[in-house]
Amino acid sequence: MFWKFLDNIESVICRVLLSGFVILLFVQIVSREAFGYSFSWIEELSVYMFVWFVYFGASYAAKMSAHNRVTFQFKFLPDHYIKYIEAFADLFWIFFNVCFLYLSYDFVFNKMNKFWKSQTLGIEMKYIYMVLPIAFALMTIRILQVNYRKLIKGENIADPDQIDLDEIKAATDAAKS
Amino acid sequence: METEIVSILFGSFLILLLIGAPITVALGVSSLISFLYLGDNPIKFVQIAFTSVGSFPLMALPAFILAGALMEAAGISKRLINVAESLAGPFTGGISAATVMACLFFGAISGSGPATTAAVGMLMIPAMIDRGYERGYASAITASSGGLGIIIPPSIPMVIFGIAALGMAPPPEAVEKFGTFSSVSISKLFIAGFVPAFLIATSLLIMNYLLSKKRGYKGVAEGWSAKNIGCEMYRGFWSLMAPLVILGGIYSGFFTPTEAAIVAIFYTLVVGAFIYRELTWASLFQSLEATTWLTGRVLLILFTATVFGRLLVENQIPAIIAESMLSFTENLYVIWALIIFFLLFVGMFMETLATILILVPVMLPVAYSVGIDPIHFGVVMVCTLGIGFQTPPLGENLFIASGISNISIEQISIRALPFAAVNTIAIFVIAFFPELSLWLPRVFGY
Amino acid sequence: KNFKIAVGDGAGGTQEALGKAFIAELEKNTDHTASLFLNGQLGSEQDTVNEAAIGTLDFSILAINNVTPFSPTVGTLTLPYMILSLEDAETLTQGPIGQELVENTLRDSGVRIIGWAYSGFRVLTNSKHPVKSVADLSDLVIRTPKNAIMIATYQSWGVNPTPMAWSETFAGLQTKVVDAQDNPYITNYAMKFDEVQSYITNLRYLFSIEPLIVSEAVFSGMSADDQAAVLAAGQAATTFSAQYLRDQESTIKATLQERGMEIVDPENNEEEFISLATEAVWPQFYESVGGIEKVNAALAAIGRDPVK
Ligand code: NA
Ligand code: NA
């Protein structure tokens, strides 16, 4: 149960954040149009929630192996070669993430100005930027996890763009019968 | 110095793409290598990661994706398409013409090409096959008109174009030569796409008429049924209101595009939960989840593409590209042709949103320096990349159409060629006559 | 060396004018030159402060309210109605108070202020009717940037401003999502706000100051001669900027009136606006700007009575 929750952590966080900023923005619209009143902090808070949503979402996309690659050049290669080539390419991804992890940690904890606060909420920007080291660390784990599943466990991780297609097939078949 | 950095940046980018690295990784790693080569501190990446994504207008992206997914789940899309299908008349190629219309209708609530193809194709491809259409043809017309989804507003690629172009002011030399350029806004792009979408739809309808005549596809025997149309319109009333809510809100200036999408989300929730009663908790969760990974993957590219673009700007590379292009030719029509063919080529292989993010920083300065209006450029760019949905090897619409009809992608893409051809002609018309794109925004006072 | 200067605004504004004047002086007295990157091409104004602090950017010209988050005492200059004229602004920035702020900024954030651009008061424009009193504001939807002091000031006048991104502001005014906004004359003119707004009120609650900062890491790496030349160029550019504002503002006012805008002054010499804003807003910010003494020192420097 706990592991299942942990394995879905990005999805949970993102659903909360997404619903959160969508509702906040709706409140702002209604309040402005109906009562002529604007909450000065909503724009800032929703943008920060959105940034968190994006980077956890990027980690979630990594877990689903959803990040777009150019693959037409592999068209005539057998599948089991492709996964090794892609795993090799993923080494560069891990390299990038590790560098970025170091840079963002250094920025947030050492280089960032200590007075820097958000304009309307007054939260220290340090806490808001914290999403970068956290999400990129998580994303790195997901890349390793995906490659472990593909290379060692031999699983076939479906392209999530493909999932839509199967659903459509099922739905069309259902509609026909 | 500049040529070296260009070869390192683009060289490592292409190599990484070829070995199958995700696009975002190819952009990020090639930029990182270039930073290290230049002796610059890559700590800049951190702030760019935060500020490239942290902008209010960008929130239109997840909002429109979520609105589209919810409309599907709530049964709004289905009813819209039913209305279009009821319009299939007694004339030649009636039902396939209705497919084009359905894509136009559906495009007015969805911001995505593949989503349009999927939603319309699911209902219309089987309907066409039932009436004796060849499977390949039925799939090809759907895949081809699915691209309308991103030209008629709302449009996710236009949101992305707007974001990419917002921070790019015209170079002073261009302003001196052509006067001030109009400003870029997402609302304005949305309005500008309206007339071109109808032009492209018309070109598809004409080609459909010609091909249907040749293939002997007759209209429905019973002809138009006012009762049927009225009945579908009545049943689809709340669905037909959806595009009005979105577009009316934006065009009247009542809402920003982000807000229009937010309102559309709540409209859909109400219609789906209380009127159509088709929306379930499970499908709501699924919509949230799909929005999550789709947004995450696109905006991770936005981050790395911004770093990539920053490198280009700091080394003044777009200016160099513009100069060398201008030394080759100053003829506006030749430059348009080069731009369109280049985009068609790139669109064959690359995912649309990534293409926009990568190419806008390079191509928009070129456009400015020959006096092209940025809104006009954006419309042509999005229309041209829309064709990429229907061309192999990476044609999202083809994949979906092929999945529905069980016909190979090769067969569909051959049938889709005539449509791609008329589509391209329409794009040249849109490119050569800027007023087609710029007239409507002016009427609305932008 | 060719230095990079980040500029938040576009072409034709005070920031660019200051930058050009600075580069001209720099080229005259050193072997170095610099390029301006306009329109935030090198990142948002706040980002450039961090970059300069780390040493990945050489210079930046930005609005003072984007320096405040990194060195709160600078906020003294952005308290509403602290500055009542261009002369006040020159006295405060170029005198001992300004020197203290320069030192504070250097200590707090690792960037050195070497010049000041003056953009003038943020005058209120709107599309509905002339605004002369606080009561006239009540039926206006007013756009502000998301800036705590500006929001608090409008609230002290009984208005809830709508924070809106700069990129959406023109369209917002045009389509009447918002009725009003405030910006200096130069900005209102450059943005062609006269096309969508009809009335101007000469409010003086905020005087726009745009410092030119240099990365201390970059500055301390220069030879003593170059350092002196950079400081002198900053000083020369500052002097130029004050004259530029005087020349520009009078021409722009005349042009805007020709184009049909109605320009009015607030009634009773702005007293109602001033007392409401200073009483309600100042106390909220005493602590962050370093105490009420700092505020009184600034007031004394421009010959005004201290507050309690
Ligand atoms: Na659309
Ligand atoms: Na393609």
Chain A contact set for C70 (CB, 8 A): 113, 115-116
- Closest Cα partner for B269 from A23, A28, A33, A14? A23
pLDDT over 60 (residue A176): no
pLDDT for B75 equals 87
Model pLDDT for residues C72-89, shown as the tens digit of each residue: 899 899 999 999 999 999
Searching chain B, which residue's CA lies closest to the CA of residue A20? B288
Give percent of chain A above pLDDT 90. 50
pLDDT over 70 (residue B222): no
Domain ranges for chain A: 2-176
**Helix H or strand E segment including C52:** helix C45-54
Residue showing tokens 């409209």: B267
Instruction: Give the mean pLDDT of chain B.
Output: 87
Give yes or no for B258 touching C (CB within 8 A). no
- Closest Cα partner for B106 from B255, B265, B236? B236
pLDDT for B322 equals 79
pLDDT over 60 (residue A177): no
User: Considering the entire predicted model, what is its pTM?
Assistant: 0.88
pLDDT for A153 equals 86
Q: Do residues B436 and B195 touch, judged by C-beta distance below 8 A?
A: yes
Q: Do residues A104 and A24 touch, judged by C-beta distance below 8 A?
A: no
Mean pLDDT of B385-411: 83
Query: ∠ CA(B222), CA(B223), CA(B226), 5° rounding?
Result: 105
Three-state DSSP class for residue B331: coil
Model pLDDT for residues A101-150, shown as the tens digit of each residue: 999 999 999 888 888 888 778 888 999 999 999 999 999 999 999 999 98
Q: Which ligand is nearest to the CA of B416?
A: 2
Q: How far is the CA of B104 from the centre of ligand 1 (A)?
A: 8
Alpha carbon distance A162, B400 (integer Å): 9
Distances (CA, A) of B283 to A50, B143, B273, B286: 22, 26, 11, 5
Rg of chain B taking only CA atoms, in angstroms: 22
Residue showing tokens 């794109």: B437
Which amino acid is located at C188 in the chain? N
Domain ranges for chain B: 1-40, 55-444
Model pLDDT for residues B48-79, shown as the tens digit of each residue: 999 989 988 889 889 988 988 898 888 888 88
Contact B404 A58 (CB under 8 A): no
Spatial strand order in the sheet of C262-264: C162-163, C142-144, C180-183, C123-126, C199-201, C262-264
Helices (H), B252-395: 257-270, 281-314, 317-328, 332-349, 352-369, 374-388
Q: Do residues B19 and B25 touch, judged by C-beta distance below 8 A?
A: no
ipTM score here? Answer: 0.86
Give yes or no for B57 touching C (CB within 8 A). yes
Which amino acid is located at C208 in the chain? S
Distances (CA, A) of C134 to A35, B130, C137, C239: 20, 71, 6, 35
Query: Beta strands C262-264 and C199-201: pairing type?
Result: parallel
Alpha carbon distance C145, C45 (integer Å): 13
Residue B90's pLDDT band (boundaries 50, 70, 90)?
A: low
Searching chain B, which residue's CA lies closest to the CA of residue C190? B180
pLDDT for B76 equals 87
Q: Closest CB to A113: pick one of C109, C148, C164.
A: C109
Rg of chain C taking only CA atoms, in angstroms: 19
pLDDT over 60 (residue A41): yes
Residue showing tokens 């952009």: B27
Which amino acid is located at C12 in the chain? G
Per the DSSP assignment, residues forming a β-bridge with B282 are none
Residue B202's pLDDT band (boundaries 50, 70, 90)?
A: very high
Alpha carbon distance B390, C22 (integer Å): 54
Chain C contact set for B168 (CB, 8 A): 39, 41
Q: Around Cβ C149, how many Cβ atoms within 10 Å?
A: 22
pLDDT for B216 equals 80
Give yes or no for B314 touching C (CB within 8 A). yes
Mean pLDDT of B160-172: 82
pLDDT for B245 equals 83
Model pLDDT for residues A47-66, shown as the tens digit of each residue: 999 999 999 999 999 999 88
Residue C72 preceded by cis peptide, ω within 30: no
Chain C contact set for A125 (CB, 8 A): 69
Contact C160 A119 (CB under 8 A): no
pLDDT for A165 equals 55
Alpha carbon distance B27, B345 (integer Å): 19
Give percent of chain B above pLDDT 90. 33
pLDDT for B246 equals 82
pLDDT for B256 equals 82
Interface of A with C in 39-68 (CB under 8 A): 40, 43-44
Residue showing tokens 């809402």: B255
Contact A53 B396 (CB under 8 A): no
Residue B89's pLDDT band (boundaries 50, 70, 90)?
A: low
Q: How far is the CA of B397 from the centre of ligand 2 (A)?
A: 9
Residues 6+ apart with CB under 8 A from B393: A72, A75, B348, B349
pLDDT for B350 equals 80
Residue ranges in chain C whose pLDDT is less than 50 = none
Q: Do residues C58 and C64 touch, judged by C-beta distance below 8 A?
A: no
- Top residue of A116, A117, A118 to mutate, by most chain C CBs within 10 Å, is A116
